[in-house]
């Protein structure tokens, strides 16, 4: 057959270049090969070669470069530190509700372009903001809760803590959340004490440890990508509640 366009040494060099500056779109890889080695490949042949390098082709997962390497261990240690507690008037049955808290804003667009990378592709991304927020409590033990609020102020968080307690009337509540200021503001502190809610901080830049993050990526919370996206896109609370129940099943 015809000799390969790239020698073994050139293929090794190409793999090094790809590893040094990933992720890559297919046109970017094609241009890189043309500029570095003065050869051209069809997209089909290029895809076969990149797969032979054990590269994946997927939509990148947003990730902060500041995330600590031991984030998983940090969360486990923080949860263990809260393992011992004294029951109060609310937590009388000795049971513990465990769940994850997060807020999100509807996204008019979403990651949709697949890229080439070694391992799971990740991409730093600034999410759009909106005045309308959805607060979610995803219970791995207990009953989940969700609410639509005009903001994520400490007052809104305090009201949502009351709703979480209403959904889980007995037992202590262990609530895992990030370091957002409203989660630990004065009104939230008072509500947490009143409703026997113990908050455990997620390590910084570690949303991958919060399973409710996957909820915000579901169709109920993202609108289709359009040339003129709507100014407001508010998901129905019923649809979000349905997803919370689905993730428990």
Higher per-residue confidence, 129 vs 44: 44
* Within a domain: 16: yes
Residues 80, 171: one domain? yes
* Within a domain: 65: no
pLDDT value of residue 15: 93
* Within a domain: 119: no
170 pLDDT more than 50? yes
Question: Which of 50-64, 118-132, 197-211 reaches the highest mean pLDDT?
Answer: 197-211
Higher per-residue confidence, 17 vs 134: 17
* Within a domain: 3: no
Rounded distance, CA 84 to CA 94, Å?
A: 12
**Per-chain mean pLDDT for the chain:** 77
CATH of the domain at 193: 3.30.420.10
User: Helix 8-20 and helix 26-37: axis angle, to 10°?
Assistant: 130
Q: What is the pLDDT of residues 151-167, one digit of tens each?
A: 899 999 999 999 999 99
Query: What b/e string do you get for 226-235 counting C-beta neighbours within 10 Å, with b at 16 or more?
Result: eeeeeeebeb
Residues 171, 220: one domain? yes
Residues 47, 148: one domain? no
Domain that holds residue 25: 8-53
CA distance to 69, 74, 137, 226, per residue, from 90 (Å): 37, 29, 19, 48
pTM: 0.57
How many folded domains does the chain comprise?
2
118 pLDDT more than 60? yes
Rounded distance, CA 98 to CA 109, Å?
A: 32
* Within a domain: 240: yes
* Within a domain: 36: yes
Residues 89, 199: one domain? yes
Residues 187, 86: one domain? yes
* Within a domain: 188: yes
Q: What is the pLDDT of residues 191-207, one digit of tens each?
A: 999 999 999 998 888 88
Contact 154, 190 (CB under 8 A): no
* Within a domain: 121: no
Residues 78, 154: one domain? yes
- Taking residues 77-88, report their average pLDDT: 61
């Amino acid at each position: 057959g015809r000799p390969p366009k790239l020698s073994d040494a050139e293929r090794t060099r190409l793999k090094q270049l790809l590893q040094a500056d990933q992720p890559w779109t297919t046109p970017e890889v094609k241009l890189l090969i043309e500029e570095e080695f003065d050869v051209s490949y069809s997209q089909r042949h290029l895809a076969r070669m990149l797969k032979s390098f054990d590269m994946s082709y997927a939509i990148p997962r947003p990730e902060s470069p500041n995330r600590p390497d031991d984030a998983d261990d940090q969360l486990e240690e923080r949860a263990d530190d809260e393992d011992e507690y004294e029951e109060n008037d609310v937590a009388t049955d000795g049971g513990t509700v465990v769940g994850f808290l997060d807020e999100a804003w509807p996204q008019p667009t979403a990651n949709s372009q697949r890229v080439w990378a070694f391992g799971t592709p990740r991409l730093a991304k600034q999410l759009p903001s909106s005045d309308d927020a959805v607060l979610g409590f995803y219970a791995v033990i207990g009953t989940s809760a969700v609410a639509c609020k005009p903001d994520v102020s400490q007052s809104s968080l305090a009201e949502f803590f009351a709703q979480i307690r209403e959904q889980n009337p007995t037992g202590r509540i262990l609530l895992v959340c990030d370091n957002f200021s409203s989660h630990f503001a004065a009104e939230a502190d008072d509500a947490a004490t009143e409703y026997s809610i113990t908050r455990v901080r997620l390590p910084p830049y570690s949303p991958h440890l919060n399973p409710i993050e996957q909820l915000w990526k579901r169709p109920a919370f993202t609108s289709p990508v359009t040339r003129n996206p709507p100014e407001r896109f508010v998901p129905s609370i019923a649809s979000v509640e349905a997803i919370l129940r689905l993730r428990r099943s």
